[in-house]
Structure 1
């Protein structure tokens, strides 16, 4: 049995306690001051004492020591999990004690390195706090072990082992972020099959590769460059820097105090001086570094693929031509045009009269795609019912539609469904609740830090309010619609990117304009040309007091301007109230000249009906559309038709394009890729609300009026009475709807998971809500039908809109037997609602 050495334990305890106190003293001493003045501000800071710098640079050396000890200690503890007092006990104790002390020392050296080094950004913050947390966990683990050995506290063994395992996980987490700082983003995960794409390099669609660059037009050494040549040369070079240099020399990480993502800082240089001498590529340090052999300690880039010959030649050419960086420099990311554009419609051919079909036909001809035959009546009717009112057609409606011989019956059913005000408004409430992050309960409602817009939203949809008015009332809200702009007032301290003013900027830009400002709310975006000051200037519109710009939650001392994202649309009063500024903004954003607003809306509607937007993802409207003409024409036509969303839905659903057979894409990641080729609608899974309502219409109501007692509508029964059952869109979230994909709506949701998840499978096979519904429903079916054969035929007709096949009928009959037992009916109903044919829109 292990015998504790009290003298040794006493000294270990004192050493750990001293290190622990020093760590917090160090945090207090330097606090935030060490990293407040960022390179963006160009504020000169006094050089730290060389001793601190030297000790800080011991951090990478020291950090590996406790990592190894703690991981080995965890392995040894697992190896002898059955008995605490094993032969490995003494060794494990030493590893834990020394590892804990070493982790605290590593944290202290890391904090010194942070104070004197060149690290900043989110990755650095995550690494720093993961390291500090791991050190604290290691100390707690060591103290628990000390208490077990010193005072024979055997009850603490489980806690000690739990903390040790959590500490080991913390080691991996801190190591991952540390590796990302020194070896590039996602250093650890990049070697796995599920490695995330580098978001900094995603979307560099507006850039220019060296392979596409026209070197021939720049060969004359005597001629000065035209403005266009300067712009193109600068764009090509910055594209190279973005692909090869930003991971080490950007706002996220500034190795050698050098940044290459900002004009002023590029020419300022780094800790060793200027790296670019305009007109002299041979004397420029940047050229020397990029031409060193791979593996050289000073070679750039130090990580990743080295620059190719054409890339190097391009950088040299740029510098020799004076390193032009004109004010008119293009962004390296694609930026969609703002102004509306209405292309000419192609001629109608082969009976294609609908404008959508004429534009899609031009796309098909260009891409050598053959038109397919449209879907049959049953498939079409089920598709359009779910898309327009969120419900399946009844058996009677299907039979009536199939019997109709008129040529325009599909157009007539579209028109008929769009006039069902209550059903339409209830169904599309789900779409807008997700997009406007409106819900009936949840975070913010308890503390009155969140406001419901449900009555306003329902009435707006029911009355088919023109979209320009709809958007204006969201941006410049009334008391009933203010919940969108107000967002969520989170309890406690929040970071600067989560203030209500910044939430308003993020919500308006993402939901209405297809711009994601969340990156730019913290630092200059890596995935677009939006800058930190753009996000703050936009957020200032929604703030009564001028906002101070915070970079990565650190105040910069700069006050934000007040302006719209696209100043060409107009100016906002600098000193007006939020009400005055919001009113001005609502007018500027909704005018017809803002093609961005209306392209975003028609793209969202198209994605809702077709499974994929013309631009994808729908929140990134600067991405390249698969048909620019179709997107532009739809947006302008939408404005010309009075901003009428129902008219837009009618135009799409009556097109041959909408009626094409659905198809699937095997690799979901390809859906949003640039290589996507449109061939027709994608097969779509029913939303949680659609599935619940479909079950209600076939089996038994999933929700009753009791479920509406917390509903925000003034008269819940009045809203529900228009339907034979309570629609799932109107009830508060519950485990059933959550499992099927309904989001919490604390953040904007613009697309739901289209793949079946394990949680959904578990809920549908063993969930309480569905089981209770099936039990109640089986009783009604048994009471209604006299024999099994009749019941089987009725269930198939009502649930799938068709008769069972011979094989299906035989299986169902075998399941039912000769008796009408409720359990057998319940099993049959369960088997039907789990069929892909029931759960998917073909």
Structure 2
């Protein structure tokens, strides 16, 4: 008897050993079928509305129990019976997914069949499987597999015959595969003018142009690059770009638009940081947490002015609500400037297009929560006092080493708090997600901002190096490799040269985050040195109208500051001093009528102060100098990585009628008149001074005729006539543009 039992037991065990692997294999196969079939359809087509977070109609299709529970209108699936399943019926009828922006989104037959077969087989769901709408990219949103969240690709430059520069290897390889020849090199005068504006924001002098054209050395261009990178004006030009991103202004905005004391010191800190080639990871750290550093100083405290530059309402309608608006500003400027993401869109709900949850938003917001976001004291202008910071600067610090809890808010309503959220790294860079540790017992602050800065600049965080490389590329080409520098998420265009972007980003991190080396690498490439006119211009413009493939250089209009500085430079009026308090440019009385507080609210600086570079012009949020707005100076209330560029008649009219421009044209005419006694050489001098070249015979003849007409036979009108000529040159496309 015992023997038979043992035999039966052994037989059962043997059978189990055969059946169990088959069952496991079948289970794995079913799970695989779910992932590639119905599960994939549900994830890509349904979770936009029926996810775990606030599901539409109460129907949560992200997990098995939600599917079986149904929604507000009852059950949606009858396992084993497709005909009795309302979910399938509505999909077949084209009602689900619902139309979007008037466009039907009916599922293709193959996806409908996948749902039908799945229901017919019992609507099986892998145990423990939770469909996460952020796990993969779909037609309507980005997932955690979106390209910008992926690790940097360590791609070596392709091998291209006759090409040694790594940037050119990537570009020429792509152009060759597209059957496109690159544009020829730009001539030396055009190239040096382009380089000078890009690196220092000023035109080269006639002597500098002549010297470069005549220099026979094989490294003549590289010497010019190094000269300009070493110029103190390099930091001024690069600072202008960063101040746009940092939403720099020197007043609070709103009705009273009061001044932010010492804001100019942050601007000067940025200039010095770029001139000193401060590593970019340190640049990030000091701006977010300069007050928390072991080696903190007045300079690092000034750097935290980055967090104070936003608007500040001294009498909000609801002070408790307003602290969340201030948090949004801090999250927005940090995530936009350093990560190139629109994290602020997740304040009230999960992001509609990117893998950013509402919890991610509040995890970042919690880094700033210990600071004076709720400080409404007018004397401190919404920030910490000098005593709290330790220095009399416009800076930021926590109000202590502990912070009150912060909760996510349902639909952004502070009266509807959800779960408490811990300060920590967000989930969209999955390998780095996690809570920030508490501070040591003797800490002055929570150190949350230090941890945030360390996360942003962690060597394996792919966003930060991609974003800053993309910004620098845009500064030199007019467009970034990713065309929207402030949004590398789903709604931003993908980069045409992903491998090039990643290679430059990886080199930046490996090279210690040094930006001058990156500038040098970019501007020494043949791609940068191309002409803006291509022999096959018309055909290629039809094929690639945005020049995304980089087959030529793009002509770019000067920004407002470069235009004003160039006018000052060619007129001999530019004061090249660096740093110090800002000057207030003269503004016509009609424009001042827009101020709510008149009576001395705006007093211009002495004329000699107004000859400084435009970087040092006082930026009042409620009153931007009209000439600057005409040439698209950016909105200072939000981070701006790329300014609008318009070409409108008002710009030409401003250059012809603006009193300041007329005054500078007169100063330029004085130099022209002093340069020569005869009209012909004077025309030569005017062209060289303003345009950097001699006039053609036709241009010279027209200029002489113009001056003669303007003088109308009256010697007393000579200077006025030449001033008019100089003003005409200010209005030429050649002067207004970088070729």
Superposition TM-score, scaled by structure 1 size: 0.64
- Give the conservation status (yes or no) of the 8 Å contact 1:456–1:481: yes
Which residue is equivalent to 2:450?
A: 583
Rounded Cα–Cα distance in structure 1 between residues aligned with 2:413 and 2:464: 32
| 1:778–1:263 CA distance, 2 compared to 1 (3 A) | farther
- Give the conservation status (yes or no) of the 8 Å contact 1:696–1:702: yes
Tell me the alpha carbon deviations over residues 739-792 of structure 1, each in whole angstroms, 9 at most, x when there is no partner: 212224221010011232455344334333323322444344335442322221
Tell me the alpha carbon deviations over residues 235-259 of structure 1, each in whole angstroms, 9 at most, x when there is no partner: 44443348xx85xx79999875667
Rounded Cα–Cα distance in structure 2 between residues aligned with 1:240 and 1:813: 71
Which residue is equivalent to 1:286?
A: 87
Does structure 1 residue 391 correspond to structure 2 residue 202? yes
| 1:269–1:616 CA distance, 2 compared to 1 (3 A) | farther
Query: 250-259 or 524-533: which moved more?
Result: 250-259
Greater fraction helix: 1
Rounded Cα–Cα distance in structure 2 between residues aligned with 1:806 and 1:481: 54
Which residue is equivalent to 2:296?
A: none
Does structure 1 residue 304 correspond to structure 2 residue 106? no
Which residue is equivalent to 1:343?
A: 155
Q: Which residue of the other structure, out of 277, 294, 299, is the alignment partner of 1:464?
A: 277
**1:575 Cα shift?**
4.9
Which residue is equivalent to 2:703?
A: 812
Rounded Cα–Cα distance in structure 2 between residues aligned with 1:681 and 1:505: 36
Query: 402-411 or 574-583: which moved more?
Result: 574-583
Tell me the alpha carbon deviations over residues 275-325 of structure 1, each in whole angstroms, 9 at most, x when there is no partner: 34566543322221232378xxx9954953251434533444565554676
Q: Which residue of the other structure, out of 465, 471, 476, is the alignment partner of 1:604?
A: 471
**1:613 Cα shift?**
1.2
**1:542 Cα shift?**
1.6
Rounded Cα–Cα distance in structure 2 between residues aligned with 1:707 and 1:762: 32
**1:448-527 alignment to 2 at 5 Å?**
453-478=266-291, 479-488=301-310, 489-491=312-314, 492=316, 493=318, 499-527=325-353
Tell me the alpha carbon deviations over residues 212-239 of structure 1, each in whole angstroms, 9 at most, x when there is no partner: xxxxxxxx99983345861675344443
| 1:496–1:442 CA distance, 2 compared to 1 (3 A) | closer
Q: Which residue of the other structure, out of 535, 540, 551, is the alignment partner of 1:679?
A: 551
- Give the conservation status (yes or no) of the 8 Å contact 1:438–1:483: no
Does structure 1 residue 548 correspond to structure 2 residue 548? no
Task: Find the residue that maps to 2:344 and give its secondary structure.
Answer: coil
Q: Which residue of the other structure, out of 240, 250, 257, is the alignment partner of 1:430?
A: 240
Does structure 1 residue 313 correspond to structure 2 residue 98? no
- Give the conservation status (yes or no) of the 8 Å contact 2:568–2:574: yes
Q: Which runs of 5+ in 1 are unaligned?
A: 1-219, 713-719
Rounded Cα–Cα distance in structure 1 between residues aligned with 2:37 and 2:684: 69
Rounded Cα–Cα distance in structure 2 between residues aligned with 1:804 and 1:330: 60
Task: Find the residue that maps to 1:682 and give its secondary structure.
Answer: coil
| 1:821–1:371 CA distance, 2 compared to 1 (3 A) | same
Aligned length: 603
**1:400 Cα shift?**
0.7
Rounded Cα–Cα distance in structure 1 between residues aligned with 2:306 and 2:503: 29
- Give the conservation status (yes or no) of the 8 Å contact 2:362–2:408: yes
- Give the conservation status (yes or no) of the 8 Å contact 1:251–1:523: no
- Give the conservation status (yes or no) of the 8 Å contact 1:505–1:538: yes
- Give the conservation status (yes or no) of the 8 Å contact 2:249–2:309: no
**1:515 Cα shift?**
1.2
Tell me the alpha carbon deviations over residues 424-457 of structure 1, each in whole angstroms, 9 at most, x when there is no partner: 0111110111111223345287275995522321
| 1:387–1:639 CA distance, 2 compared to 1 (3 A) | same
Task: Find the residue that maps to 2:286 and give its secondary structure.
Answer: helix
Task: Find the residue that maps to 2:408 and give its secondary structure.
Answer: strand
**1:826 Cα shift?**
2.4
Query: 810-819 or 380-389: which moved more?
Result: 810-819
Which residue is equivalent to 2:379?
A: none
Task: Find the residue that maps to 1:374 and give its secondary structure.
Answer: coil
| 1:707–1:645 CA distance, 2 compared to 1 (3 A) | closer
| 1:340–1:786 CA distance, 2 compared to 1 (3 A) | same
Rounded Cα–Cα distance in structure 1 between residues aligned with 2:659 and 2:29: 76
Rounded Cα–Cα distance in structure 2 between residues aligned with 1:512 and 1:469: 12
Alpha-carbon RMSD:
3.9
Task: Find the residue that maps to 1:549 and give its secondary structure.
Answer: strand
Q: Which residue of the other structure, out of 724, 729, 733, is the alignment partner of 1:827?
A: 724
- Give the conservation status (yes or no) of the 8 Å contact 2:268–2:579: no
Task: Find the residue that maps to 1:548 and give its secondary structure.
Answer: strand
Does structure 1 residue 557 correspond to structure 2 residue 417? yes
**1:705 Cα shift?**
8.7
Does structure 1 residue 330 correspond to structure 2 residue 136? yes
Task: Find the residue that maps to 1:737 and give its secondary structure.
Answer: helix
Rounded Cα–Cα distance in structure 2 between residues aligned with 1:449 and 1:315: 63
- Give the conservation status (yes or no) of the 8 Å contact 2:192–2:209: yes
Which residue is equivalent to 1:14?
A: none
Which residue is equivalent to 1:628?
A: 498
Which residue is equivalent to 2:592?
A: none
Rounded Cα–Cα distance in structure 1 between residues aligned with 2:80 and 2:658: 71
Tell me the alpha carbon deviations over residues 122-171 of structure 1, each in whole angstroms, 9 at most, x when there is no partner: xxxxxxxxxxxxxxxxxxxxxxxxxxxxxxxxxxxxxxxxxxxxxxxxxx
- Give the conservation status (yes or no) of the 8 Å contact 1:426–1:730: no
- Give the conservation status (yes or no) of the 8 Å contact 1:703–1:728: no
| 1:271–1:499 CA distance, 2 compared to 1 (3 A) | same
Rounded Cα–Cα distance in structure 1 between residues aligned with 2:421 and 2:412: 14
Which residue is equivalent to 2:171?
A: 360
Task: Find the residue that maps to 2:417 and give its secondary structure.
Answer: strand
Tell me the alpha carbon deviations over residues 709-740 of structure 1, each in whole angstroms, 9 at most, x when there is no partner: 6459xxxxxxx9xx995111121242222221
Rounded Cα–Cα distance in structure 2 between residues aligned with 1:637 and 1:593: 13
| 1:756–1:221 CA distance, 2 compared to 1 (3 A) | farther
- Give the conservation status (yes or no) of the 8 Å contact 1:569–1:589: no
- Give the conservation status (yes or no) of the 8 Å contact 2:328–2:365: yes
Which residue is equivalent to 1:24?
A: none
